[in-house]
Amino acid sequence: MKTIYENADYQTATEQLTQLCEAHAAAVFEETALLAQLNDRPESKPSALERAKAMLTGGTPAPRQDLDGLGFRLTECRERLALLGAAIAEQRGIMAGLVSAQSAIANIDAKQGHIKAAERIQSALAGLHDAMRAEQSIRAELAAGGYRCSLEPFERPGLNFSDYQSELGRFERDVNAYLLRCEIEAKKSATVRLLIDCTAGRIGDVVTLIGREAATLVNHGHAEQTTAKPSRTPRQVIEAFGQTMANALS
């Protein structure tokens, strides 16, 4: 499987982000230099006469302190920093969207392989369950025959299939539930019974849905797969406040 770093669009987006970050770093360096020049200026500005005398006598004129020019450059620099900062955030958002889109494609491509791996786990758990029951049955048979069993018991507190709250029990349920959802999702249509609050006297209908939609409801605990035919569950007719609209208006 190719990594996302080999994707041409991702490479282009990464190059653009790198260029923006480099430009931002250069602007930060320029801002620091301009601030240093503004903060390190002499107390008094050399006059034009002093600069001219130095020039006529062959000396080096004192540098002119162009505070207005430095301030203007600092303003421009900070405008570039703001623009580059916004551009970097926007580019990162584009890259995040690209990663999400490519991740969706990669997950679809890997789905069948993942299902097969989950099926192997399911088979391994079922095999472990059968093997542990066989081992326990042998020792139980010896004890039932009146013998002292000296065979090594292979039992662990965490490996208890009969305890649905154990780590192993929860793991087995998760694997089975995942494979069931995948099975429903792969179907063009699936029949499910909607699970509605029965305490309020509302019982779910049996409906046929697109496989993906049915799998979503099952995944969230809002429905269960069934072999029953689609049907609507009878509801009790409740009169609003014990009156019809005609009686209320009469």
**What's the number of domains the chain is made of?**
2
Going by C-alpha positions, the residue among 215, 231, 226 that lies closest to residue 192 is 226
pLDDT at 227 over 70: yes
Note the pLDDT of residue 161: 82
Same domain flag for 99 and 181: no
C-alpha to C-alpha distances, 165 to 9, 73, 132, 161, 168, nearest whole angstrom: 47, 68, 18, 9, 8
Task: Indicate whether this model's pTM tops 0.95.
Answer: no
Whether 246 is covered by a domain: the verdict is no
pLDDT at 202 over 60: no
pLDDT category of residue 16 using cuts at 50, 70 and 90: very high
Stretch 183-210: mean pLDDT: 76
pLDDT at 57 over 50: yes
Burial of residue 84 (CB within 10 Å: 0-12, 13-18, 19+) is buried
Same domain flag for 89 and 175: no
Q: CA 93: distance to chain centroid?
A: 15
Note the pLDDT of residue 63: 53
* Among the ranges given (123-127, 147-151, 177-181, 238-242), the one the predictor scored with the smallest mean pLDDT: 238-242
Torsion, Cα of 93, 96, 100, 102 (10° steps): 110
Whether 50 is covered by a domain: the verdict is yes
pLDDT at 110 over 90: yes
Stated length of the chain: 250
Q: What is the largest CA-CA distance in the chain?
A: 125
